[in-house]
Amino acid sequence: MTVSKETIDSILESILHAPVKLYALMVSQRPNHTLIEVELDHLEHPYGSVSLLECEQVSRKLNEELERISPDLNYTLKVSSAGAERKLELPGDLDRFRGIPVRLVYRVEGERGEKEGIFKILDRQGDRLVLEPFSKRKKGSGKKREAFLELKDILKGNLYVSI
């Protein structure tokens, strides 16, 4: 017996309540087994991290619903946080994670190839980002350096956690 991704998505919709939301859902069907991977996002946490307790609650409720609608289903369920270095959903996450270091892959007009950098997002002015190149070194009393990047030039990004 199998269960569709749409069915699981519908169950999750009824289980999840703000500020926790679905970040990603992957369902891998094999002939005798289904792997269900759920990644959660916390809209009020600075990095979007979901607690272990929240993961456990979603896992328990989803298990209960799957057992109810499909008792013969052979499956493995993994529920986790989207992760501290999650992929950014562009352009929306650029506003959400303002002030937090992000790794951006971008192109520079007139140059070949891609560039990569770590920045703090200072502001968004329409289709233009105001960035500060990120450094792990202690800040001096010097003036902040600013960089500008057009949204259309950003290819991908993810949160960056410095250690």
Asked whether the predicted pLDDT for residue 93 surpasses 70, the reply is yes
User: Residue 125 belongs to what domain range?
Assistant: 92-159
Given a contact cutoff of 8 angstroms between Cβ atoms, the answer to whether 147 and 119 are in contact is: yes
Residue 128: inside a domain: yes
Asked whether the predicted pLDDT for residue 138 surpasses 90, the reply is no
Which CATH number characterizes residue 144's domain? 2.30.30
Q: Tell whether 98 and 154 lie within a shared domain.
A: yes
Helices (H), the chain: 5-15, 52-69, 92-96
Residue 104: inside a domain: yes
pTM: 0.81
CA dist 16 to 53, 125, 145, Å? 13, 33, 41
Q: Tell whether 59 and 100 lie within a shared domain.
A: no
pLDDT-derived band at 140 (thresholds 50, 70, 90) equals: low
Which letter does DSSP use for residue 85 in this model? T
Q: Is the dihedral of CA 73, 9, 17, 20 positive or negative?
A: positive
Asked whether the predicted pLDDT for residue 79 surpasses 80, the reply is yes
Q: Tell whether 99 and 135 lie within a shared domain.
A: yes
